[in-house]
Amino acid sequence: EAKRAGRDCARFFLRAMNQALDERLDIEAALRHALSNGLLQLHFQPKLRLSDRQLVGVEALLRWHDAQRGWVPPDRFIPVAEESGLINALDAWVLDQACAQLAAWRAQAVNVPGMSVNVSPQRFHQDDVAAHARALLARHGLAARDLTLEVTERLMLDDNSRPREQLQQLNEMGVGVSVDDFGTGYSSLSYLKRLPVTELKLDKSFVRDLAHDADDRALSSAVIGIGKALGLTVVAEGVETEGQRDILLQLGCEVAQGWLFGKPMGAEALVAWMTPTRR
Ligand code: C2E
Ligand code: MG
Ligand code: MG
Ligand code: MG
């Protein structure tokens, strides 16, 4: 009886594992198809100066609408893309599209001051991101300071010299380097000394309970303090309420993103959002 139960249990897990694998393969194939058939798009979320709500830039966020699955959130497909290697092509496409969009806005005299783009750590190992950024800036007639690349602590902790050299090159060019989701990785903080970082993004998990949680206030205050001491811009993520905004201002945070100010939106919606009557 026990033996039989064990066997059923093993079968159950094998089946579950196979289903999970099948789903990954399905997503990978559908994503590959979406990339090569123009079914991906970018949304843009405003980054604002907290003191006066002045727009300081936007972050490009990948959006995928699949005929069968509907909207698939990046947290579901980015990990699959990273495991399959598709992330290189995906992130390269995003960087190109984001630069093209910024150039298009400039051509229409729409003053979007800067563009932030997420880049997976993988890409720094397999591609020359610095060379690609340099080529795109030239092609689209943009300045290096127009562009910021957002990377996670995963990359910062990496001892490999290839990513580090690219970060140095980006820095020498004048491209911004932002540490995304700061405080959620296994950071040692020493990379802030070694690497040419220009911005820290305070993860939204610290922002969420700011009004009620003294520990989150202490941690946020510490991150903002570190950033200021090192001359970095600190950007708070996930600001949803006036209460959170007020506390962040008190703590000395200068820039923020969040639904309170604007959700990620298509290029046209962003221009509408920017017109004074809408603010
Ligand atoms: P992230 O770079 O940390 O982006 C911030 C995420 O927070 C976005 O989720 C954004 O929509 C969401 N967000 C913004 N404001 C608020 C708010 O007030 N409240 C809450 N609850 N959430 C808010 P999204 O678009 O689902 O992206 C998730 C993650 O997927 C991103 O986190 C980033 O790590 C990754 N990602 C998105 N686009 C790309 C891309 O083009 N390349 C790579 N490599 N990763 C990407
Ligand atoms: Mg980001
Ligand atoms: Mg983040
Ligand atoms: Mg994130």
pLDDT tens digits for range 26-84: 899 999 999 999 999 999 999 999 999 999 999 999 999 999 999 999 999 999 999 99
How far is ligand 3, taken at its centre, from the CA of residue 185, in Å?
11
% of residues, the chain, pLDDT over 90: 80
Q: Check the CA dihedral 84-85-87-92 and report its sign.
A: negative
How far is ligand 4, taken at its centre, from the CA of residue 180, in Å?
7
Per-residue model confidence as pLDDT tens digits over 135-189? 999 999 999 999 999 999 888 777 778 899 999 999 999 999 999 999 887 767 8
Q: Of the ligands numbered here, which is closest to the C-alpha atom of 150?
A: 2
pTM comes to 0.93
As a whole number, mean pLDDT of residues 201-224 equals: 96
ipTM of the complex in this document: 0.98
CA 50, distance to chain mean position in Å, is 20
Atom in ligand 1 nearest the alpha carbon of residue 120? 44
**Alpha-carbon span 6 to 223, nearest angstrom:** 49
How far is ligand 2, taken at its centre, from the CA of residue 206, in Å?
15
CA-angle at 93, arms to 199 and 126, nearest 5°: 75
**Alpha-carbon span 270 to 167, nearest angstrom:** 30
